Structure 1
Amino acid sequence: MDQRISFITLAVADLGRTHAFYVDGLGWTPELYVPGEVLMIRAGEHLMLSLWAESGFEGEVGAIRRGEGIVPITLAHNVRTEAEVDEILALAASIGADPVARGERRDWGGYTGYFADPDGFRWEIAVNTAMEHLVIPD
């Protein structure tokens, strides 16, 4: 089996709100959008972020675990500079991301901050010189 991920699929409570956040707010381009069903956004050459309405997700995959606390997953977006980290966190805050954890230098040498999308999925925005190859070239 090849070592790769082709899709990251997340179940969302309100697909319209999710579309407004990612497309209208963050400025991402949808690859596919079926209102009330799914929003797919190309996140890399061979990677798709698939945001499914919860009902469709549960119908195909199974019951969603619900309860207290945050969703036990983070998504990361690596950038080139600390200023870019701060700019993206400010953008996320301006479109309603809550909570937003401002950028800070980490013990492991990077600079990161976090924001939550409308369903609470945490995005890490990071500069990590050890992972420079993960930043998409201009």
Structure 2
Amino acid sequence: MDPRVSFVTLAVADLAATRRFYVDGLGWEPDFEHEDEVLMFEVADKVVLSLWAEWGFEAEVGPVRRGSGIVPITLAHNLATRPEVDGVLAVARAAGSPEVSDAVEREWGGYTGYFADPDGFRWEVAHNPGPIGQRVLPD
């Protein structure tokens, strides 16, 4: 098996609210939608973010863990400059993110902040000046 990720699938409680956030708020264009069950976006070359209504996810995959705290996963959006990071966090705030943390300088040399989508999934918005950070930027 070669090391790659083709889909990132997240179970969401309210697909309509999730759609409003990503499509209406962030301005993303869906690549696929199926009624009230799934919403998909191509987020990179050969990588799709799939937002699946929780009921459909549970029917196919199994029960979702419930409880307090932050979902133990983050998604990251890397950018070439610090001002771009601040700009994306402002867009997330305007889109209605229930939680946005301002970006700060990190001890490893980066500049990052976070926002949450309607289901609490955290997006890291980052400027990573190191080689791995530069490698994931679009051409």
**TM-score, with length taken from structure 1:** 0.97
Q: Any residues of structure 2 matched to 1:52-67 within 5 Å, and which?
A: 52-67=52-67
Correspondence 1:120 to 2:113: no
Residue 98 of structure 1 deviates from its aligned partner by: 1.9
Residue 67 of structure 1 deviates from its aligned partner by: 0.1
Unaligned runs of 5+ in 1: none
For 2:136, the equivalent position in structure 1 comes to: 134
CA RMSD of aligned residues (A): 0.7
For 2:10, the equivalent position in structure 1 comes to: 10
For 1:35, the equivalent position in structure 2 comes to: 35
Residue 136 of structure 1 deviates from its aligned partner by: 1.1
For 1:79, the equivalent position in structure 2 comes to: 79
Q: 2 CA distance for matches of 1:129 and 1:83? A: 13
For 2:23, the equivalent position in structure 1 comes to: 23
Q: 1 CA distance for matches of 2:107 and 2:35? A: 43
Residue 29 of structure 1 deviates from its aligned partner by: 1.2
Residue 36 of structure 1 deviates from its aligned partner by: 1.1
CA contact under 8 A between 1:16 and 1:35: conserved in structure 2? no
The size of the alignment, in residue pairs, is 137
Unaligned runs of 5+ in 2: none
Residue 133 of structure 1 deviates from its aligned partner by: 1.4
For 1:45, the equivalent position in structure 2 comes to: 45
CA contact under 8 A between 1:15 and 1:35: conserved in structure 2? no
Correspondence 1:89 to 2:84: no
Residue 31 of structure 1 deviates from its aligned partner by: 0.6
**TM-score, with length taken from structure 2:** 0.96
Q: 1 CA distance for matches of 2:114 and 2:35? A: 28
Q: 2 CA distance for matches of 1:72 and 1:18? A: 19
Residue 35 of structure 1 deviates from its aligned partner by: 2.8
Q: 2 CA distance for matches of 1:133 and 1:24? A: 30
Deviations 1:40-89 (A, max 9, x none): 00011110000000000000000000001010000000001111100110
